């Protein structure tokens, strides 16, 4: 009885070994936050990447000359912790022999992973780290697929300036690398646009009650708000601004309003804007890969939920790597890197081009973000693109109605 089991185990081991050593397979390593606070966004990123992998493999793999490479992922749970990222990316390169890497989710974890990828000279595409500092350290193997932090509220500043050039803005944001980078840029952009900044403060990420903070905003005489950071704090801010009748004419919040569950805030969500890397209504004409509507349709069919921008950027990361490998005609790191450096393409996710000067190498310079706003449509709250005007799917609501 034991013999067949033993044989089966040996066979399985041989099969795995054979698979790992298969020369017609490209191994891509990444960590995702399956547990911990970054789980929601990271899940989107991972599902997007998984969908790209399945698409590629179903189409016969990545074509390099007359060879076709199947794509294999090695994925670990980083528990939303930097220390795990450091250990696991090392393992991905050293033990799992990943030929390419995808970055983890969040600016903080990306910064940690980048240290490892640079150390081992492994090419890494990041679709979840927006803070630009990581890409300004002279890194050679890092490529950022999404718009850097400075772009998150650029549209919000422009739109607000167009509707009220004398707006008094309160900037209140989480004390984390991403939010700080976004709001530092927003502060500069607002000053340049002639808006008055009446409050500029960060709060601890563990803040639970914003009551006193909102009273401070009201006392400052602000009529507009920009800030937030993550899910609970962003949603709490929106709800408390509404309940405490701050009666602001403009509210822009990072990240939280990008989640469809933001609609559960009801009237507190109405009029809230957020910078988005991608929205389903965008209709770019891609040079390769799916169109926006195709991506949305197939994502819904596969995961039974709507794709958010994390999912789209995850898919786009895969698409960009695939294109670079095909252009290079090789899986040699240096050749693929050269193809990425030369790349300037349009995908369903938007335009993608990387900075090539040594100081900013890999920084995303072409992709543009849009401004999305929660609007009432047939008695239902929906998120619509409202800025820039040529990409808008609905008219901007200004001011947010008083209540």
Name the site residues for another protein (rule: CB under 8 A): 35-40, 43, 172, 175, 201-204, 206-209, 211-213, 215-216, 218-219, 231-232, 235-236, 239-240, 243-245, 256, 259, 261-262, 264-266
- 314, 44 in Cβ contact below 8 A? yes
- The residue among 77 and 341 lying less far from another protein, judged by its C-beta, is 77
- The residue among 71 and 400 lying less far from another protein, judged by its C-beta, is 400
Interatomic CA distance for residues 57 and 324, integer angstroms: 17
Nearest distance, CB of residue 234 and another protein, angstroms: 9
Report the DSSP beta bridge partners of residue 385.
372
- The residue among 33 and 144 lying less far from another protein, judged by its C-beta, is 33
Nearest distance, CB of residue 42 and another protein, angstroms: 9
With DSSP H G I counted as helix, E B as strand and the rest as coil, what are the percentages for the chain, rounded to 5?
45, 20, 35
Nearest distance, CB of residue 188 and another protein, angstroms: 19
Nearest distance, CB of residue 304 and another protein, angstroms: 14
- The residue among 161 and 202 lying less far from another protein, judged by its C-beta, is 202
Q: What tokens does 218 get?
A: 């009201």
- The residue among 100 and 299 lying less far from another protein, judged by its C-beta, is 299
Torsion of CA 358, 361, 363, 365, to 10 degrees: 70
Nearest distance, CB of residue 241 and another protein, angstroms: 11
- The residue among 118 and 175 lying less far from another protein, judged by its C-beta, is 175
Helix H or strand E segment including 142:
strand 142-144
Interatomic CA distance for residues 179 and 152, integer angstroms: 10
Which of 351, 372, 161 has its CA nearest to residue 255?
372
Nearest distance, CB of residue 341 and another protein, angstroms: 37
Interatomic CA distance for residues 96 and 10, integer angstroms: 20
Helix H or strand E segment including 156:
helix 154-163
Which of 141, 151, 148, 124 has its CA nearest to residue 317?
124
Give Cβ neighbours of residue 202 (< 8 Å, ≥ 6 apart).
Answer: 172, 173, 174, 175, 179, 180, 183
- The residue among 191 and 245 lying less far from another protein, judged by its C-beta, is 245
- The residue among 100 and 203 lying less far from another protein, judged by its C-beta, is 203
Give Cβ neighbours of residue 79 (< 8 Å, ≥ 6 apart).
Answer: 33, 34, 35, 36
Nearest distance, CB of residue 85 and another protein, angstroms: 17
- 336, 330 in Cβ contact below 8 A? yes
Nearest distance, CB of residue 44 and another protein, angstroms: 11
- The residue among 16 and 305 lying less far from another protein, judged by its C-beta, is 305
Q: What tokens does 322 get?
A: 């695939």
- The residue among 187 and 364 lying less far from another protein, judged by its C-beta, is 187
Nearest distance, CB of residue 170 and another protein, angstroms: 11
Interatomic CA distance for residues 383 and 9, integer angstroms: 52
Nearest distance, CB of residue 307 and another protein, angstroms: 15
Distance set, CA 234 to CA 132, 207, 215, 265, 372 (Å): 22, 11, 17, 11, 15
């Amino acid at each position: 009885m034991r013999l067949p089991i033993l044989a089966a185990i040996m066979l399985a081991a041989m099969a795995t070994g054979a698979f790992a050593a298969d020369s017609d397979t490209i191994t891509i390593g990444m960590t995702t936050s399956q547990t911990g606070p970054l789980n929601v966004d990271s899940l989107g990123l991972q599902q997007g990447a998984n969908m790209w992998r399945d698409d590629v493999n179903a189409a016969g793999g990545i074509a390099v000359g007359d060879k076709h490479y199947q794509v294999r992922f090695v994925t670990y749970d980083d528990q939303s912790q930097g220390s795990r990222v450091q250990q696991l990316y090392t393992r991905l390169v050293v033990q799992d022999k990943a030929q390419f890497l995808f970055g983890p989710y969040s600016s903080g974890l990306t910064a940690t992973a980048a240290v490892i990828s640079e150390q081992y000279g492994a090419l890494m595409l990041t679709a979840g780290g927006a803070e630009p500092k990581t890409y300004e350290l002279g890194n050679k193997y890092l490529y950022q697929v999404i718009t850097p932090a400075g772009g998150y509220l650029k549209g919000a500043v422009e739109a607000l300036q167009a509707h009220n050039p004398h707006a008094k803005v309160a900037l209140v944001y989480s004390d984390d690398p991403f939010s700080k980078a976004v709001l530092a840029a927003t502060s500069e952009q607002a000053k340049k646009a002639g808006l008055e900044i009446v409050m500029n403060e960060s709060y601890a990420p563990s803040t639970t009650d914003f009551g006193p903070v909102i009273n401070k905003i009201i006392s400052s005489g602000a009529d507009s708000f920009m800030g937030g950071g993550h899910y609970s704090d962003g949603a709490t801010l929106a709800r408390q601004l509404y309940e405490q009748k701050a009666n602001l004419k403009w509210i822009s919040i990072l990240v939280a309003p990008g989640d469809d569950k933001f609609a559960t805030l009801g009237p507190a969500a109405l009029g809230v804007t957020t910078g988005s890397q991608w929205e389903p209504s965008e209709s770019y004409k891609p040079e390769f890969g799916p169109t926006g509507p195709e991506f949305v349709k197939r994502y819904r069919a596969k995961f039974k939920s709507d794709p958010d921008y994390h999912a789209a950027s995850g898919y786009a990361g895969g698409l960009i790597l695939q294109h670079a490998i095909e252009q290079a005609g090789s899986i040699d790191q240096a050749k693929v890197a050269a193809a990425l450096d030369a790349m300037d393409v349009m995908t369903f996710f938007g335009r993608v081009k990387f900075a090539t000067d040594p100081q900013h190498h890999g920084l995303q310079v072409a992709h543009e973000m849009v401004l999305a706003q929660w609007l009432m449509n047939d008695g239902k709250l929906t998120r619509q693109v409202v800025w820039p005007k040529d990409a808008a799917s609905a008219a901007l609501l200004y001011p947010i109605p008083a209540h």
